[in-house]
Structures are given as C-alpha cells and as structure tokens.
C-alpha cells in the first residue's frame, strides 16, 4: 500500500467527515422552518431567530470549509461539480446568502422589507437550502452529465478538463429520484434536530411543548425516510475502478457490497442508527435534555458512513452518466502526493480547532435563551 493511496483515503475521510458535520449543523436551517407554524407570537419568533442566530455562522463556515478541503484534496471533483454543475451550486449559495442577509437586517430599524420578509427568507433557507444540499450530496452516488479528458489541458483554445454536456448544469440532479429522497431526508434530519435544539436551549414552556409534539412526527418521518434511503441505496448500481488499468465498470448493488465488504462502515451506520433511535426514545419518554446531542451524534455517524462507501473500496464517487470512463475516483481526481502530504501535516491541528469549537459552544449554551435575556439592552439580538 503506497503513501499516495493512503493519503487519498485519509483525505476522503476528512472531507466526508466535514460533510457529515455539515448535515448535523443544518439544525440551524431546520430551526428556521419553525418560524411559521410552530412559533405563534412575535416573542416566540424572536426567541427562535436569536437561538439559531448565534449558531448560523458555524453552518456557513463548515460549508465553505468543506468546499475548500475538496478543492485542495480532490481538485478535479471541485472543477467538475462546482464548475460544471454551477446552477445547482449557485442556487445553494443564494439560499445561504439570503440567510446571512436576513440575520443581519431582520431587526434593523427601518429595514426596507420588514421583519416578516426576512423571516420568510430564513424559512426558504431552512427548507429549500437543506433539500438542495441533500440533492448535491446525492450526486456522489448518482453522478452527473459530464465528460472529462485530462489531455484537454493542453488545448490552448479551450483548456477545460471537464464540462457539462447539457444546459441544465446541475439542476437536472433535482429530478433524480434518489437525490430527491436524500434531499427530503436531509431536510427532515435538520428539522428534527432544530426541534430538539429548541427543547434543550430555549426557556419558553409553550414553545417547548409544541416542539415536543412536532418532533415526534418529524423525527418519525426522518427515521422512516432514512430507512427508505438505505433501501434505495442498496439497489443502486455503482461503478468500480481497477486500480492498475483505471478501467471503470458498472457493478449492481455496489454500495451494499461496499458496506458488506468493508464491514467497519456498517458498524458506524448501526451505531448512528442506535443513537438516533435513542434520541427519539428520550423525546417520547420526556427525558429529552440531551436528545439533541445524542441524535446529532447519530446523524454524523450515519452520514459519514454513507459518504465513506461512496468512494472507498475502489468506487467512483462521482459517476459520469455520459460514459463511465469519465467518472471520478479517489485515484484520478486527487491532488499530488506532495500536496496531500503537506496538508496531512497541517491537519494535526484539527483536534485543537474542534476542542476550541466545543469550548465556545458550551460557553454560548450555558444558559437557555429567554425573553428576559432578549430584553437586556446589552445582549446581541437578531
């Protein structure tokens, strides 16, 4: 096993972990969908906006970090997906931009659009933003309509290695059944975690009780939806690459085989499922103080395991629907050994960064947010 092979797999583990953490942090987006239907008064809306407003930067930063890590470690995927499927990614970006603008201007005196408009923008970010991110994640399994030829870099007139063959440029991913199911699954996960966060971090009895009722429905739908995703995934045809020749061939039930052959992702997946079910059980038993963290940990493990089997075991993690030989794998899309090795040295700092984030998180959530706190003139309000 050579060094480059190990580094390619190491960096996929890091990138896929960032993707899993991003799905967990989408609880902010899920919480924003509660502004309509769950919150009944202006005070309750302000509680929701401020509870999630103190965390929205974490989601956006993780999304940017995920993109940056993908660019540095697997630049050909970055250029093919982000550069070719740009309408899909621009849609996601715009949905996140309106989130940032809404938190900034919602509470500003004399804002042009009024509070309700910005609250609607937050709802759009929480609903469509999570669904489209799930659709984008789905392309790791279902691929896209692109061609790829590394020799094109020598073409002075058009030095483009890969490009889309249709004018949809990624939006066609939104009509692929598996992608749609995954998008709905991500939305349900985000909303479930958002409801659980309200229960544990907001001091308002009426809002908490309504959230308890809704999380039983949303959480149950998420569990059922995730089972559906696993069943659908097990039936998908994937693409296997021969490391020696680079030839890529279709394999029925490839992702199911990856789980069974690798084995350890199955353990991660089962651990994630157990944690999610445990968190839901805590809600039903009204012992829900830590249900958010238990369920969130389960979501991270489950999503991480799915992303691992998307690329490990010699699997094309971004199949081309034009010609399988154009598909991207860990071997034909990664940076050089020197680049990956240099980044690996720097990555030893990651645990220290995570420790700081955990510390800052604990400091920010020591006290439940309440109406009294929002009335404090010295508090930061959104």
Q: Are 263 and 308 in contact (CB under 8 A)?
A: no
pLDDT over 70 for what percent of the chain? 93
Is 90 exceeded by the pLDDT of residue 30? yes
* Residue 352 pLDDT class (50, 70, 90 cuts): confident
Question: Does 153 score more than 80 pLDDT?
Answer: no
Q: Where are the beta strands (DSSP E) in 48-191?
A: 146-148, 162-164
Question: pLDDT: is 15 or 370 the higher one?
Answer: 15
Q: Which structural domain range is residue 113 located in?
A: 3-375
pLDDT of amino acid 375: 66
In a domain, 381, yes or no: no
Per-residue pLDDT, averaged over 58-75, amounts to 88
186: which residues sit within 8 A by CB, 6+ positions away? Answer: 23, 26, 130, 131, 133, 134, 137
| Residue 180 lies inside a defined structural domain of this protein | yes
Structure token digits, residue 138? 């789905």
Average pLDDT over residues 17-39: 92
Taking residue 7's Cβ as centre, other Cβ atoms within 10 Å add up to 22
Average pLDDT over residues 284-298: 89
Q: Does residue 380 lie in a domain region?
A: no
Residue-level pLDDT at 158? 63
The pLDDT, as a whole number, for residue 379 is 63
Q: In this model, does residue 155 exceed pLDDT 70? A: no
Confidence (pLDDT) at 236: 95
* pLDDT band, residue 154 (cuts 50/70/90): low
What pLDDT is stored for residue 382 in this prediction?
A: 67
Count of Cβ atoms closer than 10 Å to residue 230 Cβ: 17
Q: What is the mean pLDDT of the chain?
A: 89
pLDDT band at 63; cut points 50, 70, 90: confident
pLDDT of 1 higher than 70: no
323 within some domain:
yes
3-state secondary structure of 110: coil
What's the pLDDT at 163?
Answer: 76
Residue 103: is its pLDDT beyond 90? no
Q: Are 244 and 250 in contact (CB under 8 A)?
A: no
Q: How confident is the model at residue 376 (pLDDT cuts 50, 70, 90)?
A: low
Residue 54 lies in a domain: yes
Is residue 380 very low, low, confident or very high in pLDDT (cuts 50, 70, 90)? low
366 or 291: whose pLDDT is higher? 291
pLDDT of 39 over the 70 cut: yes
Quote the number of domains for the chain.
1
Name the residue among 4, 76, 15, 24 with its Cα closest to residue 292: 24
Query: Residues near 321 by Cβ (< 8 Å), separated by ≥ 6?
Result: 142, 143, 144, 145
The mean pLDDT of 258-274, rounded to a whole number, is 96
Q: What is the pLDDT of residue 37?
A: 84
Whole-number pLDDT of residue 40? 87
pLDDT of residue 151: 63
pLDDT at 326: 92
């Amino acid at each position: 096993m050579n060094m480059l092979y190990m580094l390619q797999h190491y960096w996929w583990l890091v990138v896929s972990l960032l993707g899993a953490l991003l799905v967990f942090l989408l609880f902010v987006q899920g919480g924003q969908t509660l502004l309509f239907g769950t919150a009944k008064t202006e005070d309750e809306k302000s509680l929701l906006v401020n509870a999630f407003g103190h965390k929205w930067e974490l989601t956006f930063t993780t999304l940017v970090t995920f993109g940056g890590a993908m660019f540095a470690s697997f630049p050909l995927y970055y250029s093919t997906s982000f550069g070719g499927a740009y309408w899909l990614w621009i849609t996601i970006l715009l949905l996140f931009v309106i989130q940032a603008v809404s938190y900034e201007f919602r509470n500003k005196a004399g804002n042009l659009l009024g509070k309700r408009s910005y609250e609607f923008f937050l709802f759009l970010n929480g609903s469509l933003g999570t669904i489209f991110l799930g659709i984008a994640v789905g392309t790791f399994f279902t691929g896209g309509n692109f061609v790829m030829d590394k020799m094109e870099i020598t073409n002075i007139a058009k030095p483009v290695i890969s490009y889309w063959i249709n004018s949809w440029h990624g939006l066609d991913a939104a009509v692929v059944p598996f992608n749609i199911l995954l998008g709905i699954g991500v939305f349900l996960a985000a909303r479930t975690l958002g409801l659980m966060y309200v229960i544990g971090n907001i001091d308002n009895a009426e809002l908490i009780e309504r959230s308890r009722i809704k999380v039983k429905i949303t959480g149950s739908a998420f569990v059922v939806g995730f089972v559906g995703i696993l069943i659908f995934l097990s039936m998908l045809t994937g693409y296997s690459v021969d490391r020696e020749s680079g030839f890529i061939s279709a394999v029925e039930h490839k992702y199911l085989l990856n789980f069974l052959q690798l084995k350890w992702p199955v353990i991660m997946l089962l651990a994630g499922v157990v944690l999610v079910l445990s968190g839901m059980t805590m809600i039903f038993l009204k012992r829900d103080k830590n249900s958010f963290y238990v369920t969130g940990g389960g979501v991270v493990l489950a999503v991480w395991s799915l992303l691992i089997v998307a690329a490990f075991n010699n699997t094309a993690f971004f199949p081309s629907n034009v010609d399988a030989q154009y598909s991207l794998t860990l071997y034909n899309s990664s940076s050089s050994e020197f680049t990956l090795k240099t980044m690996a040295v720097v990555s030893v700092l990651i645990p220290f960064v995570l420790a700081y984030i955990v510390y800052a998180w604990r400091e920010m959530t020591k006290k439940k947010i309440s109406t009294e706190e929002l009335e404090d003139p010295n508090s930061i309000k959104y």
